[in-house]
Chains A and B, each alone.
With several copies, the nearest count.
Chain A
């Protein structure tokens, strides 16, 4: 039987609880958002004793289903002030699932100044004081803990940014190569830091494992599902070859690649930071062009990027990071971007928020456009050290905008807008505006249909159809985020008819139930509405479902498009 593991940091007590029946059918985002909505007062201080940090593997995590190893983390966000779910790969999700841990809930705040670690085993959670690894970066933490507890240990950790409670701090998850995947967005690392937990280790020895109710049915569905993933050109070929960074040239061509802090839609040096160039560079230097973020990933969109001497620089080197440090900051040196990526992983700071932030910082005159070495220096000498400038930068794009009086600050609900200009790709603008998470491309990835011709085509430059597109995708994504699946299963799911039914069949076979496609849609709607209700109670209303003013007044070349949705058109989103 699955259990809830609960830790109260106020008295350092731990409990194992039965799963309430209302939570039994939930996993991943559906479960973390339900728990946060049920147990966290929406108006509480995100870094105070009433916030809770919740981890939950997905409904299929721990089964042999391909790409099902994602972990959801949830809390009230110190960045947006609203609810937050952020999911990541790595090894922790499958270990928690095999241990029968439906959710790990961390609540309360320690009284004194001591720091702690949590250790999770089949018998429960133990809380220990931690001194040795304070102030250390994530890579050092992982290295030390593997030496301390063994190579197989699962690890969730925060870097200096989380210890400093910076609102761009993330939570890092050890991946199969002892590198890092991240619960990146929304400042969840600051929540963990506020609870004075430096890391969480997981030992799954003696784990009961995940029982599948109908093994044969599961096997058949899993095979169909995996075939769909491998058959689709995006998940089967494009992503493993070029990684997500294949998008640089595509968005540049479409005029939707935000450049120089969202001033232009194209970057002159796009080719130098493109997926094609990156692929050739990795191959030439003897790196790995493909790599999975968790066991059972068959898409392998990740990669290992080495330097000129063939030495490891970074992995999980994503389009959004490369776009942000690259085009948005006008940095045309992929090696500099790779070093910055690795530093952000080590410091434990969201590479999207931080990349968007550097664009605003350049606009503010803190460093010159294109200064990749300057970015590296600021990460090391300011952010990691928690200097006053580092704290401004570590607060993300909105923080820099406020401190320096910048008006071109691309954020929604104070969260940085990622790598797709909402003026020239209008569907994603609806997602940025309406997402319960603040600006978040993954919550309703209209790029698929606006740009990539996946799931049909909706003209990115016209308003028609965008609200409906974003709504359908956000509902579907909320459901997929509950399964433990990587969001990239959406590419085959949108194009290959057998894919989604196979996914539902796997859930049914796992639990011995009979969900239909409609049930899954209803789950997605329930999640969005639950999250939205939390946000409204926290004071985030329609008036915050808006893009920053400059998108409506500054046309972006080459299409010279502006953001032209009326408030009423945007608010139609919630009409479901």
Chain B
């Protein structure tokens, strides 16, 4: 299945900003994180199709996955 993966802030360094990527059906988010070599402890926020998500959630065809380190502002 095809997934759009977006990375933000420091996660982009040495990786990418947006990429369409292909995974086997039923892949959980955590697999993508591992595959991208992002230490899990650095994950601040996961958004799946504009909603907060957990690492265990399974991905589906056409999903938009966004990964953020713990950042803030205001």
Contacts and interface: CB of A to CB of B under 8 A. Distances in A.
A253 B69 CA distance: 14
Q: Is the interface of B mostly helix, strand, loop or mixed?
A: mixed
B9 A234 contact: no
B68 to A, nearest CB: 6
Nearest to A453: B45
B73 A233 contact: no
B9 A275 contact: yes
Nearest to A250: B68
Contacts of A366: none
Contacts of B17: 271, 276
B47 A253 contact: yes
A77 B6 CA distance: 43
B10 A250 contact: no
Interface string A297-339: 0000100000000000000000110000000000000000000
A241 interface: yes
A453 B24 CA distance: 29
A242 B11 CA distance: 12
Interface string A480-503: 000000011001000000000000
Contacts of A245: 73
B74 A250 contact: no
A77 to B, nearest CB: 21
Contacts of A244: 73-74
Contact of B70 (A233, A241, A301): A233
A314 to B, nearest CB: 17
From B45, B71, B73, name the one whose CB has the most chain A CB atoms within 10 angstroms.
B73
Interface string A332-348: 00000000000000000
Given A241-B9, A250-B68, A253-B66, A445 B50 contact: no
A461 B49 CA distance: 14
Given A253-B66, A457-B52, A243 B8 contact: no
Interface in A222-276: 232-235, 237-239, 241-247, 249-250, 253-255, 271, 275-276
B44 interface: yes
A289 to B, nearest CB: 13
Contacts of A271: 17
Contacts of A232: 70
B41 to A, nearest CB: 10
Interface string B32-57: 00000000001011010011100000
A558 B42 CA distance: 28
A237 B10 CA distance: 9
B12 interface: yes
A488 B73 CA distance: 8
Given A241-B9, A451-B45, A255 B50 contact: yes
Contacts of B52: 254, 453, 457, 459-460
Interface size range of chain A in the complex: 35 or more
Contacts of B47: 253-254
A442 interface: yes
A228 B8 CA distance: 24
B61 to A, nearest CB: 19
Interface in A185-240: 232-235, 237-239
Contacts of B70: 232-234, 238, 452-454
A249 to B, nearest CB: 5
Contact of A491 (B8, B10, B69, B72): B72
B50 A233 contact: no
A454 B72 contact: yes
Contacts of A243: 73
Given A233-B69, A238-B69, A276-B17, A247 B74 contact: yes
Nearest to A234: B72
Given A253-B6, A453-B44, A558-B50, A276 B73 contact: no
B8 A276 contact: yes
Nearest to A454: B72
Interface in B2-40: 6, 8-10, 12, 17
From B8, B50, B51, name the one whose CB has the most chain A CB atoms within 10 angstroms.
B50
Nearest to B51: A461
22 contacts: A233-B42, A234-B70, A239-B71, A239-B72, A241-B9, A242-B71, A243-B73, A246-B71, A246-B72, A246-B73, A247-B71, A247-B74, A250-B8, A253-B68, A254-B52, A319-B74, A447-B74, A448-B72, A452-B45, A452-B71, A453-B45, A454-B70
Interface of A: 232-235, 237-239, 241-247, 249-250, 253-255, 271, 275-276, 301, 319-320, 441-442, 445, 447-448, 451-454, 457, 459-461, 487-488, 491, 558-559
Closest 9 CB pairs of A and B: A244-B73, A238-B71, A234-B72, A233-B70, A247-B73, A255-B50, A246-B71, A253-B66, A319-B73
